[in-house]
Structures are given as C-alpha cells and as structure tokens.
Amino acid sequence: MRVGLVINPIAGMGGAVGLKGTDTPAVLEKAIEKGARPIAQGRTEEAIRAAGELVGYEFFTAGGAMGEDVLRGRGARLTIVYSPPEVTSDNDTREACRSILEAGVDILLFTGGDGTARDVMDVIGERVPVIGVPSGVKMHSGVFANTARDAGVLLRRTRVESLPTHRTEVMDIDEDEVRLGRISASLYGYMLAPEEPALMQPYKLALGGASEDEHKEALAKYFVDKMLAGTLYILGPGTTIEAVGARMGVDKTLLGVDLVVDGILLGKDVDEDTILRTLDSFPDARIVVSPIGAQGFIFGRGNQQMSPRVIERVGVRNIMVLATPFKLRETKTLRVDTGDEALDEQLRGYGKVLIGYGIQQVVPTA
C-alpha cells in the first residue's frame, strides 16, 4: 500500500500550557515561552507502531520533522517528496500534500488538529481517503481516529481488509473566538475516511435546549452541595462545568481549566505547570470533567492541561465526570486519549457519571 504521511510538528503544543491552539506564529511563540513541548512526532510514532509490519507499506512523506524523522531507521520504504524549511507553517502542510498527491498514494495519514485537517482538505479534498492522528488541541472533525494507536490499527486494517470509505466532516473552529471563551464552529467541508465507527471519532455535535439547561442546573446544585472543604477542584472546560462555576458564584471560563478551593477561584484558564504547582499546596484534589459532545472524550480533547502528570498526581479515583442524560444518550462510551497508553489503560473500564441531583449512571470507558 502506498501511504502518504504528513506531520504538523507544532500541533498540540498549546494544549498543556493553556492555549487554545497554535494556528499563528504569535501564539506558537507564546506557547514556547510558556514551556510547550512538541508532541506530534510521538503521537505519529505510536500510530506507526500500531500499523504492523512496515514491509507492507511504501511511504511518501516530507523531510525532517514533517515525516522523515519518524520513519527513518524503522526499515520502512520511504520517498521524500517535499523538503520543508526548519520552521514550518500551514503552507508547508499544503505543499507536502500536493507533492504526495502527485506521487500517487492510496491513503494519507496526517498528524495534527482541526487546523491541519483544513490545510489537508484544501489540497486533498476527496481524491484519496485520509486518517487523522489526533495531536491538536481542537479535534472536532470526523477524520480523526479516536487515538494515535487507533489510527495505526485503522491503517493496518485498511491495508489488510480494504475497508470501505465514507464522507466525513471537517470542522472550522475560530481560535480567536475560542480564546475569548466563545465557540465558533462551522462546517468547512468533507474528506473521505475509512468507515470503522469503533476506531474513528464522530464530529462534535452541538447540544442544548431548555431541558438541557435544567439538567445542568440540577447537576451543578448537587455537585456544589457536596463539595469538600479544603479540597482543590480542577474544573475542566464545557458548558456543564461552566454551570458548576455559576452555581458557586465564580467566573468559570467556558473553554479553559480553572482551580477552585472553598468557593474561591484560585486560578483561571491555567496551564499544566500552574496546576502542578498548586497541587503542592493542596494534595487533596479532584478533577472534574464532562465528555465532549457525541465524541465522548473526557481527556485529550481541549483539556490537555490535565496532563498525565496532573492525573497521576490527583489519582484516577479522584476524577469526577458530569454529564446530562441527553448528552449520555448521544454518548454511549466515554473515551480517553491522554497520550500515555499505560494511564489510558487505567482509565478504561466502567465508571460512574453524575447525571442529575444525586443520580449516577455507570458508563463504559474506552
């Protein structure tokens, strides 16, 4: 199988440091100043390991960090079709895709987030199927596998089983609006992806309505009534957790991670390092999250500040999941993608989700 590979080397660097993406040079520079570390190559390596024996593939990729570095030394047959500069941009993603398309491939594997997906779609369209390796901060599009490992498994199954493809959505998320606490999402277009619902995430659905608000208020009331004195609450993003903040009377960010103790907002829109430093003073802590739309992710989508180091410090048993009944009807399984496979395995299984005032539901986690 002839496989194209394109990596956005800076994808996801803004997550752990509390930024909402790295779509512009200015935001990337700020992320680096805050200590952001590249993660895209590691995610790609995980996908390649899961793809099986590489003898069955012929790779066409870009040089250096955009693909070559991951494949070199693994015994893969590879051809470098595009040589990027040392500092890459969205234009390099598009140029690499053009060169790969000209080389003639059966499928394209790319690593990044929604911004990378848009750049890939600008060139690839529906000419060949794609598999997105999730590595961004925002991944609302339906072209992404659930995890990096799932992307590799999907590639292997496509080669061995000739999986059918289907059209799936590429979403356009405005980063500037996200940084202001507003979600501005629209349908950007479509690409083809292998049809395997167990391995591919659905695109995010918008959920709402008056009854939904009532459920959120009941959840928030119960949660606040049961909060423990002297305990640090690490509140994740989303409208459900925002309702908890409103019940407490604190100015909770919609799309950031916030820190609360005894009803006092200690940190707003914090990054990973801030959380870890605060945990030094408050060893008794709880992580509070809500699944994303129909995707079901509780970690690894928009809350990378809650990193494996943070989760391990707090403890898996001290994670609290909140969701309305309507959201759980759309989300049959919770999902995790922390980037640490051993931690993901600890989080998998079955867990309790608070769905109403004193009402819990057992939900599988994959």
Determine the Cα angle at 335 with ends 282 and 358, to 5°: 60
Residue range 225-249: mean pLDDT, rounded: 93
Residue given tokens 């999250």 in the structure block:
289
- Report the percent of the chain where pLDDT is more than 70: 85
Confidence of residue 139 (pLDDT cuts 50, 70, 90): confident
Question: What does the alpha-carbon distance between residue 240 and residue 324 come to, in Å, rounded to a whole number?
Answer: 8
Tokens at residue 295, please?
């995707």
Question: b/e string for 47-62 if b means 16 or more Cβ within 10 A?
Answer: bbebbbebeebbbbbb
Q: What is the pLDDT of residues 186-236, one digit of tens each?
A: 678 889 999 998 898 775 544 434 457 778 888 899 999 999 999 999 999
Q: Are the C-beta atoms of 100 and 82 separated by less than 8 Å?
A: yes
Residue of 187 and 84 predicted with greater confidence: 84
Q: How many Cα atoms are found within 13 Å in the side-chain-facing hemisphere of 30? A: 15
Residue given tokens 């909770």 in the structure block:
252
Q: Are the C-beta atoms of 251 and 298 separated by less than 8 Å?
A: no
Helix (H, G, I), strand (E, B), or coil: what is residue 52? Answer: coil
Question: What does the alpha-carbon distance between residue 288 and residue 282 come to, in Å, rounded to a whole number?
Answer: 16
Which region among 119-123, 169-173, 204-208, 230-234 has the lowest average model confidence (pLDDT)?
Answer: 204-208
Query: What pLDDT does 33 receive?
Result: 56
Q: Are the C-beta atoms of 353 and 323 separated by less than 8 Å?
A: yes
